[in-house]
Amino acid sequence: MKNIVILISGRGSNMEAIVRACASEGWNARIAAVVSNRPDAAGLAFAKGHGIAATVVDHKAFEDRLAFDAELANVIESFAPDVVVLAGFMRILSPAFVTRFERRMVNIHPSLLPSFTGLHTHRRAIEAGCKLAGTTVHFVTAQLDHGPIIAQAVVPVLPRDTEDTLAARVLSREHVIYPRAVRWLVEGLLREENGVITHAAGETQLLV
Ligand code: GRF
């Protein structure tokens, strides 16, 4: 049985989607812990309510990023993780931390990477006149919002879209592809060649 540790900072709807998929699809895995850097993260209550260890490592209690990252890594390691899932975790991680969990740690970013790394992705996509937007699950590397792409979902940008309507459309797709991608990782079905990730059995890594 594989151990999954999920890191959140807020709402935690992607975490919820993964918890539910793990249970309903009978993955050979358990959510060993949900860790938040914010004590007020709404997602913590859901985790506790589902009998999952919910832990806070408050970044404000640490002198600098390295000290926070070191403690965060120790807490994560205490749950013997096979997979570390960043689900709306809003902290930039140091290269040492990333190296420690290399190819075991994934993130979801609300854009079609490599476009629109960083914040305000939906606003920027609308302002750029994009007709397509989407979301990307990728392995975490030291470079923010980079790293080999595991899966993407695309949605249309509609003429009257606001940042909020586009965000909601993208989020509903995140709840489909993120659990799927995490399951592939848990099941050891991802292959990498020259930085390109493929699914061992050829399942589609694109959700349209
Ligand atoms: C998602 O849009 C995700 O792409 C981004 O942060 C948001 C997290 O939402 N990284 P939630 O906390 O999972 O509801």
- For the chain, give the mean pLDDT: 97
Domain spans, the chain: 1-101, 106-208
Helices 13-24 and 163-186 sit at what angle, rounded to 10 degrees? 40
200: which residues sit within 8 A by CB, 6+ positions away?
188, 189, 190, 191
pLDDT (tens digit, 9 = 90+) per residue, 127-146? Answer: 999 999 999 999 999 999 99
Calpha distance 113→115 (Å, rounded): 4
pLDDT (tens digit, 9 = 90+) per residue, 7-52? Answer: 999 999 999 999 999 999 999 999 999 999 999 999 999 999 999 9
Query: What are the two backbone dihedrals, phi and then psi, of residue 33, each rounded to the nearest 5 degrees?
Result: -165, 155
Candidate CATH numbers 3.40.47.10, 3.30.70.100, 3.60.15.10, 3.40.50.170; the one for domain 106-208: 3.40.50.170
pLDDT (tens digit, 9 = 90+) per residue, 154-180? Answer: 999 999 999 999 999 999 999 999 999
Query: What are the two backbone dihedrals, phi and then psi, of residue 107, each rounded to the nearest 5 degrees?
Result: -135, 155
**Contact present, 18 and 178 (Cβ < 8 Å):** yes
pLDDT score recorded for residue 31: 98
pLDDT (tens digit, 9 = 90+) per residue, 89-132? Answer: 999 999 999 999 999 999 999 999 999 999 999 999 999 999 99
142 CA to centre of ligand 1 in angstroms: 20
pLDDT score recorded for residue 172: 98
Q: Which residue has the tokens 């979301």?
A: 135
- Reference 97, options 64, 138, 66, 54; nearest CA is 66
Q: Is the CB of 81 under 6 A from ligand 1?
A: no
| Ligand 1 atom 8: residue of nearest CA | 88
Do the two domains 1-101 and 106-208 of this chain adopt the same fold? yes
**Contact present, 179 and 18 (Cβ < 8 Å):** yes
pLDDT score recorded for residue 34: 98
**Contact present, 9 and 17 (Cβ < 8 Å):** no
Looking at CATH, the fold of the domain delimited by 1-101 is given as Rossmann fold (3.40.50)
pLDDT score recorded for residue 19: 98
List residues with catalytic annotation. 109
Q: Is the CB of 10 under 6 A from ligand 1?
A: yes
Q: Is the CB of 14 under 6 A from ligand 1?
A: yes
Q: Is the CB of 12 under 6 A from ligand 1?
A: yes
